């Protein structure tokens, strides 16, 4: 065979191999960059009933980021101080232990789509059993209040479907009262001798008249007397996150009102389905009730909003 022909065949074969390696390496690099997002979450050990702060460090090219967790979708927001994306979500109390997928979808200013999936372990937490005794009318409401109960259930369902799409909260959530806890979240309740549903909030010791304050920024979703909840205030913090303050003696805010963190909401009491004076504080995220005390331990990135200037104050001279 002609030596030139042999040389050309070998050169063609070599070029083919080089092209294959180039394509393969580019695909590997693309896959590596696609997995380059750093995902962190808080608390470090997730359990059933836990709220969770997801924090994602992505490339500067990403201009928006959306997550899907537990079949619920939510938007991340960008924190300039940490140069990261973050959002609050939750693990439903009925979630079984195992690995669950956080699906991330981002886009760039050129509308290029990026995605990444991360497997996150959820452990099982065993919640205690508790026994309470309450008036029978709050276990099985009498016929004369059935219509009221149904109307209030319909109202709450409607309001929970009208939450602000954007996040209204900022910084850490704070306890609504400066007292100790009398009843924990998740405890399986035995009510009047019959096993019932898990406790969906945290009970705080609070004598009648104790000041109750907003746990974070938001908008008053509900502020009225309900049959089971008593005098109740619900704050919409956006993206399906709601805090609930129950059994109040007085309500000091109005529905639709914007509230700041620490703002007075009302006074604690003993109204509705209550075993005595206390504050029932609940956290709800997209239909799931979460452990309020865990939410209080989460430290989101970013600074607190500056308080508004008082009327009549003059700007400082430069």
> Which residues, at least 6 apart from 158, have a Cβ–Cβ distance to it below 8 Å?
none
For residue 27, the model assigns a pLDDT of 36
For residue 38, the model assigns a pLDDT of 94
Residue 21 φ/ψ, nearest 5 degrees = -65, -35
For residue 196, the model assigns a pLDDT of 85
Q: What's the CA gap between 159 and 173, in Å, rounded? A: 22
Q: Walk along the chain (318 residues) and give the pLDDT tens digit of each residue.
A: 556 655 555 656 665 555 444 434 433 333 333 457 999 999 999 999 999 999 999 988 899 999 999 999 999 999 998 999 999 999 999 999 999 999 999 999 888 999 999 999 999 999 999 888 889 999 899 999 999 999 999 999 999 999 999 999 999 999 999 999 999 999 998 888 888 889 999 999 999 999 999 999 999 999 999 999 999 999 999 999 999 999 999 999 999 999 999 999 999 999 999 999 999 999 999 999 999 999 999 999 977 666 555 444 444 333
For residue 189, the model assigns a pLDDT of 87
- The structural architecture, per CATH, of the domain 38-123 is Sandwich (2.60)
Q: What's the CA gap between 96 and 123, in Å, rounded? A: 8
Of 244, 316, 289, whose CA–CA distance to 90 is shortest?
A: 289
**The model's pTM:** 0.85
CATH number, span 129-295:
2.70.70.10
The CB density around residue 39, as the number of other CB atoms within 10 Å, is 17
Domain ranges for the chain = 38-123, 129-295
**Residue whose tokens read 């004076």:** 277
The CB density around residue 33, as the number of other CB atoms within 10 Å, is 11
For residue 260, the model assigns a pLDDT of 98
Structure tokens belonging to residue 257 = 């009102």
For residue 3, the model assigns a pLDDT of 61
Q: What's the CA gap between 103 and 50, in Å, rounded? A: 19
């Amino acid at each position: 065979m002609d030596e030139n022909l042999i040389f050309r065949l070998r050169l063609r074969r070599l070029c083919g191999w080089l092209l294959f390696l180039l394509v393969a390496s580019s695909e590997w690099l693309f896959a590596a960059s696609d997995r380059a997002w750093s995902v962190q979450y808080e608390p470090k050990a997730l359990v059933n009933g836990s709220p969770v702060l997801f924090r994602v460090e992505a490339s500067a090219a990403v201009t928006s980021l959306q997550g899907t967790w537990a079949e619920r979708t939510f938007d991340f927001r960008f924190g300039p101080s940490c140069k990261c994306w973050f959002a609050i979500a939750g693990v439903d109390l009925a979630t079984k232990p195992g690995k669950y997928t956080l699906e991330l979808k981002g886009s760039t200013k050129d509308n290029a789509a990026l995605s990444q999936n991360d497997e996150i372990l959820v452990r099982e937490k065993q919640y205690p059993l508790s026994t309470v005794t309450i008036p029978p009318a709050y276990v099985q409401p009498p016929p004369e209040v059935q219509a009221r109960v149904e109307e209030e259930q319909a109202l709450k369902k409607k309001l929970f479907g009208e939450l602000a799409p954007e996040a209204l909260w900022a910084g850490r959530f704070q306890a609504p009262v400066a007292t100790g806890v009398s009843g924990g979240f998740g405890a399986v309740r035995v009510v009047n001798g019959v096993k019932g549903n898990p406790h969906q909030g945290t009970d705080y010791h609070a004598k009648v008249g104790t000041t109750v304050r907003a746990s974070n920024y938001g908008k008053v979703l509900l502020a009225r007397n309900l049959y089971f909840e008593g005098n109740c205030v619900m704050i919409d913090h956006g993206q399906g996150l709601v805090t609930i303050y129950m059994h109040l003696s007085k309500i000091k805010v109005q529905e639709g009102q914007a509230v700041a963190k620490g703002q007075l909401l009302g006074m604690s009491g003993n109204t509705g389905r209550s075993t005595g004076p206390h504050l029932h504080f609940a956290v709800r995220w997209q239909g799931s009730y979460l452990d309020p005390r865990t939410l209080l331990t989460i430290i989101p990135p970013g600074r607190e909003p500056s308080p508004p200037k008082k009327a009549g104050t003059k700007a400082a001279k430069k």
